[in-house]
Structure 1
Amino acid sequence: MAVPEGSPTYEPGLRWSEVDRFRPSGGSYGAPVAQGAGFKYDEATLHELVKEWTDLAKEYQDDRFDAELIAVAQPPGREYASGDNAEITRQSGRALMEALDQRVAYCENMAAKYVAALGKYASEDERAASAVNQQPKGIL
């Protein structure tokens, strides 16, 4: 399967389960920052990113509930094969729970980074507004 040419794109609200992930789409991660590595986003995109990372963390938390059921699986019978199979299933459930916990933490961390970026965005807007308000009023 071929990967499309060009830069990756970001589409707010896009769910990978709803589209072919290798289909080119509109949107943009933002313009590259001239002074170094990274990207810059507008305020609306930052809000959408916070929402999407928070929603993804919630989905992983919901999945963790199901993983707990796997982690406490009981054998269907009282023979050694059923008991051994149930123990392996429980180990898999515990591993899944641990992986989901890591994913929740990652998503929450990403959302926090975008919230911090929004704070910087708001601070810069306030600074710019203050500078504009200090200018003399009227026509010069």
Structure 2
Amino acid sequence: MAEGPVYDPNGTRRAPLHPVVRGAGSYGGGSGAGGAGFQYDEATLHELVKEWRDLASEFRIDAAQAETLARAQGPGLEYASLGNAELIRASGNALTETLRQRAKHCDAMADKFVAALGNYANAEETHATEIGNTTKGTL
């Protein structure tokens, strides 16, 4: 089986036979010594960033549509219509706020995976420098 991204939201790929080595792409509390956290390869991190950003965008679209509920007006001026509209507005406000919070959470998660990608770049640069230093004078 070809090794590829560990994460697959559609379930069409399976995890590689060999675990991804913990390192620059790890996420969570792990210190690289087997601690808690997650580990992903670079391609998976890119996929996760895109999915979290897409989900945040969907929540923002839903929040914009929920604002319609927050502006609801009763069909008449009697107590029942006004009271019903007031409850619908309160529900719309709660829904809008919840959806905005979820979008914010999704953006925060995407930012964490972007940071992990930055760790990959730093690790690659460090390893390239180390390899360059070790090969000097070996010819």
Evaluate the alpha carbon distance shift between residue 39 and residue 32 of structure 1 in structure 2; reply closer, same or farther with a 3 A threshold.
farther
Task: Determine the structure 1 residue equivalent to 2:70.
Answer: 71
Deviation at 1:133, TM superposition (A): 1.2
Distance 2:92 2:21 in 1: 42
Q: Deviations along 1:43-97, whole A, 9 cap, x unmatched?
A: 1110110000000000000001111000000111221101110000000000001
Distance 1:84 1:28 in 2: 54
1:40-119 alignment to 2 at 5 Å? 40-119=39-118
Task: Determine the structure 1 residue equivalent to 2:7.
Answer: 10
Could you tell me whether the CA contact under 8 Å between 1:31 and 1:39 is conserved in 2? no
Evaluate the alpha carbon distance shift between residue 122 and residue 32 of structure 1 in structure 2; reply closer, same or farther with a 3 A threshold.
closer
Could you tell me whether the CA contact under 8 Å between 2:20 and 2:41 is conserved in 1? no
Could you tell me whether the CA contact under 8 Å between 2:7 and 2:44 is conserved in 1? no
* Partner SS for 2:134: coil
Distance 1:130 1:80 in 2: 75
Deviation at 1:35, TM superposition (A): 1.5
Evaluate the alpha carbon distance shift between residue 32 and residue 38 of structure 1 in structure 2; reply closer, same or farther with a 3 A threshold.
farther
Distance 1:81 1:133 in 2: 78
Q: How many percent identity over aligned positions?
A: 52
Distance 1:79 1:105 in 2: 39
Deviation at 1:27, TM superposition (A): 3.2
Deviation at 1:137, TM superposition (A): 5.1
The two structures have a TM-score, normalised by structure 1, of: 0.77
* Partner SS for 1:134: helix
Could you tell me whether the CA contact under 8 Å between 1:49 and 1:114 is conserved in 2? yes
Q: Which runs of 5+ in 2 are unaligned?
A: 1-5, 23-32
Higher relative contact order (CA 8 A, sep 6+): 2
Aligned residues, how many? 122
Structural RMSD (CA): 2.3
